[in-house]
Amino acid sequence: MPVYSQQVMDHFMNPRNVGEIENPDGIGEEGNPVCGDMMTFYIKVKDNRLEDVKFKTFGCGAAIAVSSMVSEMAKGKTLEEALKITPKIVAEELGGLPKNKFHCSNLGAQALTRAIKDYLGKKKAGGDK
Ligand code: FES
C-alpha cells in the first residue's frame, strides 16, 4: 500500500470541483489502459480564462486527488498559464506521490490540456467565443 501525503489524502477525501459543467466550452478525456482509470475534465472559458473547471474521475485515490488538485490550480488561470500545469508540478503541489502512482498525475494534466485544446479547436473552427 503506497504512503500518501496529507494533501493527497485531503483531496481524496474531499475532492473539489467534482461534477460536470452543462454546455462546457471544452471537454478532455484521458485514460490509462494499464490500470483502466479514466478521467474527464469540463471547462468554461471567459475572456481567455478558465472561469470554471469540473471533473469526473473513475480511478484510484491518487487519480482523484490529482484531478481535484488540477481543477483547483487551473481555475481562474489564463489558458496559457493552465497549459503550463505539468504532472510534475501537480505531484509537487500534492506533497509528492509514490513512484508507482506518478502516472496518475499524468492523467490529470493531460485531461485538462485536452479540454483546453478541444476549446481552442472549436474556437478556430468558428465557434461562438
Ligand atoms: Fe491508474 Fe492511479 S492507478 S490512475
Q: Ligand 1 within 6 A of 30 CB?
A: no
Q: With bands split at pLDDT 50, 70 and 90, how would you rate the model's confidence at 116?
A: very high
Residues catalogued as catalytic: 35, 104
Pairing of strands 49-58, 26-31: unpaired
Q: Ligand 1 within 6 A of 66 CB?
A: no
| Model pTM score | 0.93
25 occurs within a structural domain: yes
Q: Ligand 1 within 6 A of 32 CB?
A: yes
The model's pLDDT over 67-105, given as tens digits with 9 standing for 90+, comes to: 999 999 999 999 999 999 999 999 999 999 998 998 899
Number of domains composing the chain: 1
86 occurs within a structural domain: yes
Q: What is the grid cell recorded at 84? A: 503550463
Gap between the Cα atoms of 20 and 54, Å rounded: 6
Boundaries of domain holding 90 = 6-118
Which residue out of 103, 105, 110 has the highest number of ligand 1 atoms within 8 Å of its CB and is therefore the one to mutate? 103
Q: Which of 107-111, 117-121, 125-129 has the lowest mean pLDDT?
A: 125-129
93 touches 7 (CB < 8 A): yes
Cα dist. 34→23, 28, 31 in Å? Answer: 31, 19, 9
Residue closest to 16 by CA, chosen among 71, 57, 98, 97: 71
CATH of the domain at 102: 3.90.1010.10
